[in-house]
Structure 1
């Protein structure tokens, strides 16, 4: 029997994640995967977590970690996060922190908090696919956030008004962004804050890769820059989203929001409606592990990922044809390739998986308007050095062949 349910209007904007689908390829031993933007499981501090869970389940305290807990999150974990934010130049307290089930839940909540159907979200072009998925359910429009473009704030507001809504926030990942690996300069960050003040909108700062800097000078987060301007976090419009997923463990699904207390209190209400609270035992164990080894763990993974990044950049330089361009990230997990016009990343992926057993993510999924067909994202975080060399060699061969076909087609057309 076929049912004809009357779904909401937002359901049509809910799409499966191309990246989550590609992750299924990781289970195939014959595939060299540069697709998943995930940390290397071999680097997780498993012993520290094993000890932490054992300790929290011992004695009279076991009942508490198996019980319901405050929607705001475990107080001890929020205290540690507040201390860590202070090290980033963001002085704050426990009341400025709410724990979420990964930063993905934070993006979902923030979309619900700010967006009504027809409103406009300013995003970088391209931008994180998971953010688009979170915001799409709220039925927004998207406009391009370009920090240094000669575009007046009134222009953004005017275009949003023509579409029946208003600009509600700017979303960006300023450090080693997913998918491009690029980092915003200090001047670009200040420009975003100027725009936000002029438009009277929120700034959602996605700090998922904040800890993964391998070289270059650290640049203060936007929230730190705004606090320097305005004197305190409760006077700021920037909302910082953090996560343990790229440093300690993604499987525990623990992220956080650091923001003005007014924003946090509203997010707590959404948290209560969404899932009551994140898992108590996971939060308590995460606090223990963070206090015992967070900074040592970060140094460890930085060394490994930096070596893999360098290996990928050398392989690209050695193997790729001159017509291909790519980013050279100072941190994070990604290198972004731009192919010559006329090439399609999705079509290249199909041939790459079938013929060369190499996977990557086509770039179109990261553009709200469906552009960027000639781009693709490579992740180096889970690929050992020899695998990187071999995978890039295979991929470059396909690209050279595709470039040659396009060039021959253009010559034939010109004749």
Structure 2
């Protein structure tokens, strides 16, 4: 072989890996080809033996050819690459991607594994060959945004992978939103309507305050009970919208104190019914308990206990806004953390205790002979009240996120409507539509 270009025919099957890797990358090209041709030697037509020099350089130009075998056609060689001189810089391989020059009809690939897409990573060790791997999809919460990545990247707590798992996107914020949740509009409308209805009933009672049905069982207690029910409907709005620290602190404490005042009023009504019946007997010592001082003391004492529980809760470990980023994939639950679970259940437990005592006393006094005996209505109202809150507990514990808040709102509204309907609807019916019955009762 002379210094001019010499043609060397090399079987394509022996150089598939070499040529394919030349096509795949331009970096490290010299070393890759040296690996296959450094030990190649041959004898030229003149009988001279040809070797690479001590630096593994090609002393002359080489033309790589592929032997093509066609049906009914003679064999011929197809040039596929030219390597120039000792600088060893390959030219473009124009025929490299032509499948007709390969035996299988496909361009050979010099890799044992397909490239991993951006949503996956390499997993080594599944093959006896160290360079081989398999592609596994990134786990939940992680992404891969480049091909052939060996590791997936974990998204921040406030972000989540998109569907392609190649980009972290912000998580969906979940809470009872005024703009996105129709149930909030329903709660708001019902709360406002019930609040207006309670105010209307209060106005009726004030207007007809001198009638017997309003004066019975202490009309001041009825006023206080109506105001408490009205406030309980308004405190529903503390549960709606995005929670913040102040609304979290006012949620449970507000309706806890308000309901304690309302139930204490019913307890005072029930006790006064019992005292009024016993005071009708001649010489009864119960007469000294008649009047407005005893029911006022009952309401103040029992409501003050709930206030002390709430103040202690807020002083030791108050509720605060919290973000739950782990319960659901792809969304953050904006919620109120109770702070102290003992404080939360102490408020509910005391409220339930008051309701149970009121129910027992009203149940015992329901058959006392009195034309305006409210005990049977108080009994039914406490039965509705306790049923709502007992049913709320398992529903509250089995839900999360905004549905947990919706359960609380429903319990507040249902119990308030139960108190309003059981105690006052029949009285309003008599006042507005059966005034003769009211006068007839007075005559007795």
**TM-score category (smaller protein):** under 0.3
Question: Of the two structures, which has the highest relative contact order with CA contacts closer than 8 Å and spacing of 6 or more?
Answer: 1
TM-score (norm 1): 0.21
Largest Rg, 1 or 2:
2
